[in-house]
Structure formats: structure tokens, C-alpha cells
Structure 1
């Protein structure tokens, strides 16, 4: 992800600079090689400012001299990547076409694989993606990146976990509406999988509230003995939770590394969500199940 300094609020009290004029009658200058990163930077800034920005504002936000930036803006306007009206630049039709083409190439969960593999190496643990199954209220694993440790958590693609007892399942359950959660607890068989499995509805509902507030679920020997699970929500561009990023560890590593693993899984889920177009905080809004 590029990290451009574009978060500053545009000061609406700024007067238009004399150079903030319609470039339509000006000769179109071609940007040089140094302008490559500036092109991406300008497009990213304007994506965050749909109301548009003046030359002076763009120069301030991008820390670029106006004289250098003006030629670039003229070239982008000429190519219809930008529009220029009333002294302000905004994204043009070609920029939207480019964005649509990029989004069309995205495939979930494949888009998450590089993040998962990097996280599996950094954590030294198995990373999985779980989605809500369509046939019954349970979580099904749809992708994995295996740990290289000899002693590791292993789960196959297509394996299921109960929502109430698994870390990923709790993330998906916490994303449901109150009515959906009520229906789940009315019909679900809350069967203990280990001697540590929590099955009391009141306790589970309190845990789900905590997951919704913190964005991370952690379980110790709830679905399987000697397994600690960590999970965080993966969101689409609307903020809806479409899956859970899950980490499975042996108790011997999971319990001592509890806080570190929580932070790693939260960061990984945020990275995948960003790849899907999610750009800000949201409540745990639930999305449709996987087929």
C-alpha cells in the first residue's frame, strides 16, 4: 500500500491561486519520469476529496511545487483522468474506468493469499480464511497458509467449525444482527467439544459483545484440545464482514504470545480489507454466506 501524505483537511477558506485556471486553452505538457509517483499521489488525494481541490491545495497536500504540479495536472486533464472546473480538479472518467478495471480483477479469497503467506511466516503459525456456510450456521475454511513449524495447527479446506466455539465463528456471529444472533442461539446445539468449551448463552453473548467492540476474537481450547485460535473480521468496501482471518496455534505458543498474535491477526485482516476497498471504521455489519 502506498502511504502518501494526503490526509490533511482541505482548507476551504483558501483563495484560488492565479494558476488555478482552466487549462483547456493551455498547451498540454507531458510529465517526465519523476512524475510517475506524483500521478498516483494526485489520483489518491482526489479520491479522498470527491469535492475537488485547487492547484494550491493539491500542492500543499502532495508537498509538490505548483510549477511542477501544474504541468502534470494539465496532462492528466487532457487525458480525461481529471476534470477542471471552477478552479478545482477532480477525478475524470478515465480515472473511474481505471478504478473499475482494477476492482474487476480482484478475486476473493485469492487476493488475500500474499497477506496470509507473509503473516504465516511472521507469526510462525497457520493462517486461514473462514466464511459462513450457506447450508447451516457454521464456519467453513476456504483458504489456508500453513505454518512451517513441525508442531502446528492444521485444518483442511472445507473443514467446518461451530460459530459459538471457534475464534473465526465468533467473529462471524458477532457481525450478525441482534435478531440473527437470537435465532442462532434459539436453534444451535451448544455442545462442548472440550472440557473448556463455553456453552452458556449469557456468557457467549457477552463474549460476542467484546468481539464486536475490540474487533478480535481469541479462544483457548474451545473447539479442539491444545489449540488457541485468533480471528479478526475481513470487510468489503461497504464495511460489511464477509469472512474471518483466522490464526491457529498450539497452546504452548498461543497463550504466551496472546497479545502479539491478537495484534498480528488484526493487522492482517485490516490489510486484506484494504485490498477489498475498505477504507474506514465500521460496525460489524454481516454479509451473505458463502455458497
Structure 2
């Protein structure tokens, strides 16, 4: 921990709340007090949640820190450009945004999703995967998995493909496409049945995709493989774009009875992964999805 000497620079002759004015930027004012490391993180976190900024009084209340102690820290952070002083309020400065960008740059997808996937696989007792659009043809390819520990479980290898129209993950990716992209897909795709239950009629599939887009979850029963139920939800990046699907595969014997529970779990998992990528998810409204 840093051990900087504490020095209060509040001028007692100033009027009330004068500490909310533009801070000094000399070396003395740039020295934070004790417990600076914890308070730095706390202040940055508070201002990240208040993009409109906050006054010294508000920051002191939110951080439960005396103004005299907090003021030296704010001056130091402003001097280093981690904060900026806008009128009476403090806001995040350019260095704070640079730091945030550097942290995000260290994240790697899909590896960042592994802890969520492993926890979800344990909670659900089922295999969890991430599927992305293949680069060479319209299909979904699995890029990461966390396997179930059950003796009877769904298994899919990294690099395995699934058709977009018949797999739960594929439907999530297809539902996220524009109308023009969907039209092109249905114009060129071979809608071949994989099982006796596979749905191949374009009008029916388009209605299913509309429901997937509205509900945020896809569920399939023996559409790509016999005795397999699939669940999937979209993984979104900071901009809200769908970049992958979080998928759960289960045997029919567990998937059908646990339909609503598994849909809720996969949606929650996808929201968690999306949040790690910077996406702020609106409140979820669970609605029955097509299977």
C-alpha cells in the first residue's frame, strides 16, 4: 500500500462548500492521505456509476469519508488526470478512461466466460457451450465448453458445427441477423431434417426466430440430434451486438421436465457473460419460447 503523508489544504476562511471549487494542482495538493488505495478505487467506482459527476459533499456521503480526508485524494487524482473538475462536480478524467480501456483490452473472449460456464454447468448439472458463427459458411461452431459431470450427458467437441435453423444456438445467432441476412440465409440454406422432429418449413422457422428475438431464449427438442434438448441465449458485447450464443445441452429425460428452469439458467448465464463484456442488460421478462 502506498504511504503518502496526509496534508489537509482546506482554507478555513472560504465560504461553505468552497472545497467543491476548482482544486489546486500544486505538488502539495497532489498528495493523498492514508488508506488512499482503497479510497481511490471507491471514488472511481462511485463516479463510474454517476456519469453526470458528483460534488465533494456527495462523494463524502457516498463513500462515508470525511471531506477533509477526501479532498486531498480528489486533488491528487485530478492532478494526475484520473478525475476532472467540472464546475462544482468531479467526473472521471482521461486517465481513468485509458485505464478502463486497458483493462478491457486484457479480456479475451471466449476465455473470459469460462468461470460463468463452469459455475453454470455445476448448478444445472448439464453441459454448457459457446457457439459462434463460422467464418466460411452459415453455421454455428462450438468454441468453448464446460462439460456436465453426469454419466449421461450431452457432449460436443470444440470445432463441431451445428446448422443455424435447427440448433438452439444457431437460432439465437440467426434471430440476431437483419431481415436481409435472414432472407439470404433461407434463400440458400439446405433445410435438411436431422431427425423426424426437425422443423424445416421456412414460414414456421421464421415465426420461431421472431419469438426467439422477442424472448431472448431458444429451446429445441430433438431438432439437431435425437434425445437432445438444447437451450441458448445471446451473448452481447458493449454495443449490444450479438457475438455468440451461450448453449446448454441436455438429454430429453432431463431437458423436457426442466424446460423452464433451464431456460432461466441459460438466460441468466448469458446476461452474466454479456456484463463481463460491458453490456448492460435490461430487466429480463421470461416468456415461454418455442421448442
Q: Which moved further from structure 2: 126-135 or 194-203?
A: 194-203
Structure 1 residues 108-132: Cα deviation after superposition (integer angstroms, max 9, x where no partner):
1111111111111111111100000
Alignment TM-score, normalising by the size of structure 1: 0.84
**2:128 pairs with 1:130:** no
Structure 1 residues 201-228: Cα deviation after superposition (integer angstroms, max 9, x where no partner):
1111111111111111111111111111
Alignment TM-score, normalising by the size of structure 2: 0.84
Query: How far is the alpha carbon of 1:24 from its aligned partner?
Result: 1.1
Note if contact 1:175-1:241 (Cα within 8 Å) is conserved in structure 2: yes
Residue matched to 1:27: 29
Separation in structure 2 between the aligned mates of residue 59 and residue 192 of structure 1, nearest angstrom: 64
Query: How far is the alpha carbon of 1:18 from its aligned partner?
Result: 3.5
Separation in structure 1 between the aligned mates of residue 70 and residue 165 of structure 2, nearest angstrom: 55
Residue matched to 1:7: none
Q: Relative to structure 1, is the Cα distance of residues 27 and 37 closer, same or farther in structure 2, using a 3 angstrom cutoff?
A: closer
Note if contact 2:271-2:281 (Cα within 8 Å) is conserved in structure 1: no
Query: How far is the alpha carbon of 1:169 from its aligned partner?
Result: 0.2
Query: How far is the alpha carbon of 1:64 from its aligned partner?
Result: 5.1
Separation in structure 2 between the aligned mates of residue 21 and residue 167 of structure 1, nearest angstrom: 56
Q: CA RMSD in A?
A: 2.1
Residue matched to 2:74: 73
Residue matched to 1:4: none
Partner of 1:194, secondary structure, is coil
Residue matched to 1:3: none
User: How many residues get paired?
Assistant: 266
| Residues 1-291 of structure 1: pairs in structure 2 closer than 5 A | 17-24=17-24, 27-33=29-35, 36-62=37-63, 66-281=67-282
Separation in structure 1 between the aligned mates of residue 256 and residue 161 of structure 2, nearest angstrom: 23
Query: How far is the alpha carbon of 1:59 from its aligned partner?
Result: 3.9
Query: How far is the alpha carbon of 1:97 from its aligned partner?
Result: 1.9
Separation in structure 1 between the aligned mates of residue 125 and residue 217 of structure 2, nearest angstrom: 19
Separation in structure 1 between the aligned mates of residue 198 and residue 109 of structure 2, nearest angstrom: 32
Query: How far is the alpha carbon of 1:281 from its aligned partner?
Result: 4.3
Note if contact 1:239-1:281 (Cα within 8 Å) is conserved in structure 2: no
Structure 1 unaligned regions, length at least 5:
1-15, 283-291
Structure 2 unaligned regions, length at least 5:
1-15, 284-291
Q: Which moved further from structure 2: 112-121 or 161-170?
A: 112-121
Partner of 2:29, secondary structure, is coil
